[in-house]
Amino acid sequence: MSKIFFISDVHLGLGNKQEEEQKRENLFSFLDYVLLNGNELFILGDLFDVWFEYKQVIPKGHHRILTKLEDLTRKKIVVHYLLGNHDYWNEDYFEKELGVKVYHEPFEKTIDGKRLYFHHGDGLAQNDTGYLILKKILRNPFIISLYKKILHPDFGITLATSSSHKSRNYTSHKHYGEQDGMLLFAKEKFREGLDVVMMGHNHEPKLVEENGKLYVNLGDWISHFTYGELKNGKFEMKVWKGVME
């Protein structure tokens, strides 16, 4: 039986120097644990507070996490990385250089006979047409490639960083019933035959069991440091206490 780990919303680069240092050490100790004990790792988006990659350029400041991920894949641990609304602008660096499996869209996997569905969690709020339009624009391949052609990386990445901060202020101040929307979506998936629906995005750890089906929100690594563990067909949500004092 395999042992599989799940995390979401680490938002590397979001905090001040000291917070980031602490978060990194904490995350690295977790990844070392996964390296020794796991078979697979799922990252459900917003690993970075901003990841904006050009064909030949990646953002500065994250080299240690990149080599950590490579350590995992070199040890034959399968790393699945579903892109979130803060780190969607991925080219092929993670796949080609780090051996990570990258997903641009929500996806399904069967594990130990159970059907699991993974979604970052954005765009599921009720009556939030504005965000859905914005999401379409921000993910449009033509617009993304035009942006990269026009803007030098120093400017393009800086601009992406500042709009990421604006987007957080916007999303954290809206009340479109995001929690409800996510749970409703999960229930819809249960009706389609899925057994587990897992998300992140709203930074609120949550576990809802219903007729043997499971909705999981993995929380975040900003204030909760929560992770999921699936072992012998049993799912548990835990808090990583690693190197925190």
Binding site for Mn ion (CB under 5 A): 46, 84-85, 201
Measured from the CB atom, the residue of 38 and 121 that comes closer to Mn ion is 121
Residue 30's Cα: distance from chain center in Å? 16
Nearer to Mn ion, 46 or 53 (CB): 46
Q: β-pairing, 78-82 with 101-103?
A: parallel
Please identify the residue of the shown chain whose CB is closest to the bound Mn ion: 201
Contacts of 224 (CB under 8 A, 6+ apart): 203, 205, 239
Min dist. Cβ of residue 120 to Mn ion (A):
6
User: Measured from the CB of residue 123, what is the shortest distance to Mn ion in angstroms?
Assistant: 10
Q: Name the 3-class secondary structure at 68.
A: helix
Of 70, 84, 62, 68, the residue nearest 33 (C-alpha): 68
| Cα end-to-end distance, the chain, whole Å | 33
Q: Pick between residue 84 and residue 228 the one whose CB is nearest to Mn ion.
A: 84
Shortest distance, CB of residue 110 to Mn ion, whole angstroms?
26
Smallest distance from Mn ion to CB 106, Å: 13
Q: Give how far Cα 67 sits from Cα of 28, 97, 105, 144, 237, Å.
A: 11, 10, 25, 27, 26
Q: Closer CB to Mn ion, residue 13 or residue 38?
A: 13
**Closer residue to Mn ion in complex, CB, 72/182:** 182
> Least distance in Å: CB of 135 to Mn ion?
11
Task: Sheet containing 107-111: give its strands across.
Answer: 107-111, 114-118, 196-199, 213-217, 206-210
